[in-house]
Each structure stands twice: as C-alpha cells, then as structure tokens.
C-alpha cells in the first residue's frame, strides 16, 4: 500500500510541472525554433495552426484546475497571430 501511495505522489510531482508557465513557454519557444526550419509560407501557416489548436486545447483542459492562465492565453493569441501573418502573405 505504501508503494502505491509513493508512486502516486511521484506521478503527481512529475505531472504538476506540466501546468507550469515555464513548461508552456518552453514549448512555445520550441515551436518558434521549429518555424525557422520551415521555408514555405503555407507550411508555416499550417505549423502555427497546429500550435494554436494544441495550446487552445491545453487552455481548455487547464481551465478546470488553474485560474492563473494569462500566460497560456497570451501564447494562444501569439500562435493565432503567427498563423494569420503567415497565411496573409
């Protein structure tokens, strides 16, 4: 029984970082670096549309557990802006 409790606590500690601001900012920074490798405007637009959808989903999932999600709202808006910019050129 103690092993199960210990494992559950370790899992909770591990996954608690998934809702942290730094985790999502690192993912966004990675998406920006990925964009630098893409040289086609349509593919850039598709990349940012995927990022926008993914971060929007994270916002929806985390809204149930965390009311301090301004940083995630900013990331969703930034992804949408990148998508619109790439799509308009």
- What is the full per-residue pLDDT of the chain (89 aa) written as tens digits? 454 544 555 555 555 555 578 888 899 999 999 999 999 999 999 999 999 999 999 888 877 766 677 888 899 999 999 999 998 75
Q: 28 in a domain, yes or no?
A: yes
Bin 66: left if φ > 0, else alpha if -120 < ψ < 50, else beta: beta
Query: Does some domain include residue 43?
Result: yes
Read off the DSSP letter of residue 67.
S
26, part of any domain: yes
pLDDT of the residue at 84: 92
Domain count, the chain: 1
The answer to whether residue 15 is domain-embedded is no
What is the pTM (predicted TM-score) of this model? 0.68
Residue 39 lies in a domain: yes
Domain range spanning residue 43? 20-88
pLDDT for the residue 80: 93
Under the phi-then-psi rule, with left for phi > 0, alpha for psi from -120 to 50, and beta for the rest, what region is 20?
beta
């Amino acid at each position: 029984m103690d092993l199960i409790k210990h494992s559950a606590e370790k899992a909770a500690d591990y996954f608690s970082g998934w809702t942290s601001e730094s985790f999502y900012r690192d993912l966004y920074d990675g998406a920006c670096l990925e964009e630098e490798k893409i040289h086609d405007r349509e593919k850039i637009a598709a990349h940012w549309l995927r990022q926008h959808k993914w971060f929007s989903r994270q916002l929806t999932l985390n809204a149930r557990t965390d009311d301090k999600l301004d940083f995630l709202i900013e990331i969703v808006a930034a992804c949408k802006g990148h998508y619109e910019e790439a799509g308009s050129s």
